[in-house]
């Protein structure tokens, strides 16, 4: 086991994927010599060459469109969108081409493209650098959506995303980039399916009173809330995959606790939490003892960094929601 930050864990996962498969290429703005804004790809161009780690022009639509052509020729491109708010110029390519090409070709051509997107706030960034656009992509049929929450899950899931023959939108919680954790680098993507299925949710903290479903940057926040909760036992579920969502694990947890709080950083209306609340309301109607409650960002553009702590869900808001559902 090695103690790594999430940045280093993703870097190690990318390295292992590139060592295993010469068809894996990295493509993005400043990812080569610079190693990316957050240094996630640091050292990879030096070790694998400029023909496999390519610096792209500042044109997200061109980056995604080029990846479509590479995938059609049998490559496995891994793209980096420099910041969450920069993905929109490439949005049309993603939802109109990447998500639909496999179906359009009647399965004859796969789209094994991984699109890495640092997302979320909490780093004191300027406008367009702290957004949470995951619901757009989870809503789009043909795309898979993954988001790790700690270094170990990041190391595993980035490899699994790359080996997947479906296109994967891979959201990296930039606020957790510098969190450290133990990572088992001996695990290979060839046996990862037996170790951890990226499309299954993880119960990261068992509990008996309230299920707290969360993902990405909010997993640590919810674990901290569970650690200090008094007289309430919180079960924390890390969803990992936002498309498809593992409802089997989530339903089983809610059937044990009879209560659900969904936590995410994105705005409340139309978010992933709304879909989860509707599905659990259908599947657990007779088990629920309280309405499904959501804790989320507010329905406003992401605020200036000096007041972002008022926008982001925190430990107190999670605990308040848990206490409210316990009062029913």
| Full DSSP string of 13-51 | HHHHHHHH-TTEEEEETT-SSS--TT-TTTTHHHHH-TT
Q: How far apart are CA 294 and CA 118, in angstroms?
A: 23
Could you say which of 51, 128, 129, 264 is catalytic?
129
Cα separation, 153 vs 201, in Å, equals: 11
Q: Tens digits of per-residue pLDDT, 240-274?
A: 999 999 999 999 999 999 999 999 999 999 999 99
Beta bridge partners, 205, equal 236
CA distance 213 to 250: 8
Q: At 53, is the secondary structure helix, strand, or coil?
A: strand
Name the pairing type of β-strands 202-205 and 234-238.
antiparallel
- Give the model's pLDDT for residue 193: 57
pLDDT of res. 107: 84
pLDDT at 191: 63
For the chain, list residues with pLDDT below 50: none
Phi, psi angles (nearest 5°) of residue 265? -80, -25
List pLDDT tens digits, range 100-124. Answer: 999 898 888 999 999 999 999 999 9
Q: 51 catalytic, yes or no?
A: no
At 106 the pLDDT is 87
Cα separation, 295 vs 261, whole angstroms? 7
What are the residue boundaries of the structural domains of the chain, listed by start?
A: 2-195, 202-326
Contact 303, 206 (CB under 8 A): no
* Location of structure tokens 């606790």: 257
The pTM for the full model equals: 0.96
Looking at the structure, give the CATH architecture of the domain made up of residues 2-195: 3-Layer(aba) Sandwich (3.40)
Sign of CA dihedral 142, 147, 151, 152: negative
Structure tokens at 36: 């990316």
Is there a shared CATH topology between the 2-195 domain and the 202-326 domain?
yes
Q: Which CATH number is 202-326's, of 3.40.1130.10, 3.60.70.12, 3.40.50.920, 3.30.420.40?
A: 3.40.50.920
């Amino acid at each position: 086991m090695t103690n790594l930050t999430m940045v280093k864990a993703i870097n190690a996962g990318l390295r292992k994927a590139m060592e295993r498969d010469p068809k894996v290429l990295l493509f993005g703005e400043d990812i080569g010599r610079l190693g990316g804004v957050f240094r996630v790809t640091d050292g990879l161009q030096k070790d694998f060459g400029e023909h496999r780690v390519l610096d792209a022009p500042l044109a997200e639509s061109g980056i995604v469109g080029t990846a479509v052509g590479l995938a059609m020729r049998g490559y496995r491109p891994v793209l980096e969108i420099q910041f969450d708010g920069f993905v929109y110029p490439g949005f049309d390519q993603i939802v109109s081409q990447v998500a639909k090409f496999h179906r359009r070709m009647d399965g004859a051509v796969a789209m094994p493209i991984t699109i890495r997107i640092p997302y979320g706030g909490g780093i004191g960034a300027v406008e367009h650098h702290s957004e949470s656009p995951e619901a757009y992509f989870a809503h789009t049929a043909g795309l898979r959506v993954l988001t790790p929450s700690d270094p170990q899950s990041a190391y595993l899931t980035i490899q699994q995303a790359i080996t997947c023959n479906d296109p994967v939108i891979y959201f990296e919680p930039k606020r957790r980039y510098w969190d450290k954790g133990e990572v088992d680098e001996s695990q290979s993507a060839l046996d990862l399916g037996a170790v951890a299925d990226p499309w299954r949710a993880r119960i990261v903290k068992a509990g008996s009173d309230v299920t707290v479903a969360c993902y990405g940057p909010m997993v640590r926040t919810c674990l901290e809330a569970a650690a200090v909760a008094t007289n309430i036992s919180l079960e924390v579920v890390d969803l990992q995959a936002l498309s498809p969502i593992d409802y089997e694990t989530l339903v089983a947890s809610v059937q044990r606790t009879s209560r659900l709080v969904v936590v995410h950083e994105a705005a409340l209306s139309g978010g992933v939490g709304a879909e989860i609340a509707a599905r659990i309301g259908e599947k657990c109607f007779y088990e629920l003892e309280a309405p499904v409650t959501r804790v989320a960002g507010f329905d406003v553009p992401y605020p200036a960094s000096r007041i972002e702590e008022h926008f982001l869900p925190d430990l107190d808001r999670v605990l308040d929601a848990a206490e409210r559902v316990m009062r029913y």
